[in-house]
Amino acid sequence: MKNDIDTRLKRALKSTESPDMELIQAVKNRFLKEDKISMKKTYKRSFGAVIAAVVAVLLVSTSVFAAWQLLKPSEVADIFEDKALSAAFASEDAVNINETIVSGKYKFTLLAAVAGEDLTDMPYYSNGEIQRDRLYAVLAVQYADGSPMPSTMDVLYEEVSFFSSPLIKGVEPTMMNVPAMNGGGSTTSVIDGVLYRIVECDNVAVFADKGLYFAINTGTFFSPDAFIYNEETGEITANANFDGESVIFNLPLDKKYADPAKAEQYFKDQEAQRNGDIEHEDTMFDDIDWENAMPVEGTIADVDIDSDGYMTYTYAYKTGGGAITAAYSDHFSDDDTEQSAIINMMASDDDVYAVRMEKDENGGITGMIVVPR
């Protein structure tokens, strides 16, 4: 047994491949079987040498090292206690991407994506209705120099912000990104110095025949300056001159999921929603006194209005967060009076809440999460 392990270690040192887990476990077991008194000395010296050898092998290939240290998408979902989504990421329907792009001081890895109906234990509600047909993507963010990302409890964490979203080839990205895709917010955690995020939105796999991207830019909101949209070809690329970091991945969903009829209807529904033409049936929210709902501390933030007249409010609430976009003209008038509007209502298994925007007498807009009293 000992000679067999030694032989395999020698081969590993000559190989450009990472050593398999069976080998590493065998090494551990061999040392653990040693006499306890001598093990204290042997373990520190010999196993340290083994680890050094493993690191030397891993440094041969950056991509192998990245795959070695990152969690699997199913493991990320497990950490967020979503067993159904974990199973979805472990299934044959999931698309394992594992592509890494470095931009500035960050290293972004798009791990995987999966799309379909009822893939989560924590369904997203919009206007009182469960959004069943969804797409989920897992993203990992690291510092390019190998230093750990700040934990969510670290004051430096507030300085780390990323906007991440699928985009559709041939569609102006400012008009169709995750807030417009009924984004259910993103769930983020920092584990062993790596920031993991699960992004959720409508199942845009119906556009698989057109081509899909997954875009990331630093900052809280989607930045049009971070990307270049080619109106002739429909291609979207990262802007190397952007004042920040931006990357864009191809999102290789199988074209068998494409559905031109659903895609066309999706565009029509989006247009109707922007124009305020969609009416919703009576729901569980109708009996709630939203006018007197209480703001949630820590969710109150200024809201910007873009050149097209759209307001975007980004929030973090409990274990998740998201961004809500709405047309200013649909909710507020231009007169100099204080105004308030409920923009969206949402629910989880044990909570009901809404996004409220308020306009002051100077025209400033503030967004917040509110809960019933």
Rounded CA gap, 112 and 24, in Å? 27
Q: Could you report the per-residue pLDDT of 294-330, keeping only the tens digit for each? A: 999 889 999 988 877 888 887 777 645 566 778 888 8
Reading phi first (left if > 0) and then psi (alpha if -120 to 50, else beta), residue 219 is in left
Model confidence pLDDT, tens digit, residues 193-250? 999 999 999 999 999 999 999 999 998 788 889 999 999 999 999 999 999 999 999 9
Structure tokens, 15: 């190989």
223 three-class SS: coil
Could you give the CA distance from residue 44 to residue 40 in angstroms, rounded to a whole number?
6
CA–CA separation, 19 vs 31, rounded Å? 18
| 8 Å CB contact between 182 and 151 | no
Backbone angles phi, psi at 222, to 5 degrees: -65, 130
- The DSSP code sequence of 252-266 is ---GGG--HHHHHHH
- Mean local confidence (pLDDT), 262-287: 69
Instruction: Categorise residue 16: left if φ over 0, alpha if ψ from -120 to 50, beta otherwise.
Output: alpha
The confidence score (pLDDT) of residue 62 equals: 39
What per-residue string of b and e applies to 204-241 under the rule 16 or more CB within 10 Å gives b? bbbbbbbbbbbbbbbbbbbbbebbbbeeeeeebebbee
pLDDT number for residue 193: 94
Condensed to tens digits (0 to 9), the pLDDT of residues 5-62 reads 444 444 444 443 444 444 444 444 443 433 332 323 323 333 444 444 444 343 433 3
Length of the chain equals 373
pLDDT at 32: 40
Percent of the chain predicted with pLDDT > 90:
46
Supply the pLDDT for residue 61: 37
223 or 97, greater pLDDT: 97
CA distance 285 to 345: 8
3-state secondary structure of 186: strand
pLDDT score at 373: 81
Which of 66-70, 143-147, 245-249, 367-371 bottoms out in mean pLDDT, i.e. has the lowest?
A: 66-70
Q: Residue 355: is its pLDDT beyond 70? A: yes
Place of tokens 């497990």: 78
pLDDT at 318: 65
The one-character DSSP state at 156 is: G
Q: Which residues contact 144 (CB under 8 A, 6 or more apart)?
A: 102, 104, 105, 106, 107
3-class DSSP assignment, residue 127: coil
Residue 19 CB partners (closer than 8 Å, separation 6+)? 8, 9, 12, 54, 57
Question: Between 292 and 12, where is the model more confident?
Answer: 292
Query: What is the Cα 303 distance to its own chain's centre?
Result: 22
Classified as helix, coil or strand, 340 is strand
3-class SS shares of the chain: helix, strand, coil, % to 5: 30, 35, 35
Rounded to whole angstroms, the Cα distance separating 89 from 209 reads 22
Eight-state DSSP code of residue 158 = G
Q: Which residues pair with 313 in a beta bridge?
A: 324
pLDDT of amino acid 63 = 39
332: pLDDT strictly greater than 60:
yes
Residue 93 and residue 116 in contact, taking contact as beta carbons nearer than 8 Å: yes
Q: What is the pLDDT of residues 151-164, one digit of tens each?
A: 878 888 777 888 99
User: Do 48 and 42 touch, CB atoms closer than 8 A?
Assistant: no
- Residue 325 corresponds to which tokens in the numbers above? 């976009």
pLDDT of residue 317: 72
| Residues in Cβ contact with 265 at an 8 Å cutoff, skipping those fewer than 6 apart | none
pLDDT digits (tens, 9 = 90+) for 98-130: 999 999 999 999 999 999 999 998 888 776 678
For residue 271, pLDDT beyond 80: no
Distance (Å, whole) CA 158 – CA 129: 32
State the pLDDT at residue 153. Answer: 80
The DSSP symbol for 152 reads T
By the 10 Å C-beta count (0-12 exposed, 13-18 middle, 19+ buried), 191 is classed as middle
> Which carries the bigger pLDDT value, residue 169 or residue 38?
169
Residue with the larger pLDDT of the pair 3 and 242: 242
Placement of tokens 């409010």 in the chain = 313
**Partners of 295 in the beta sheet?**
370
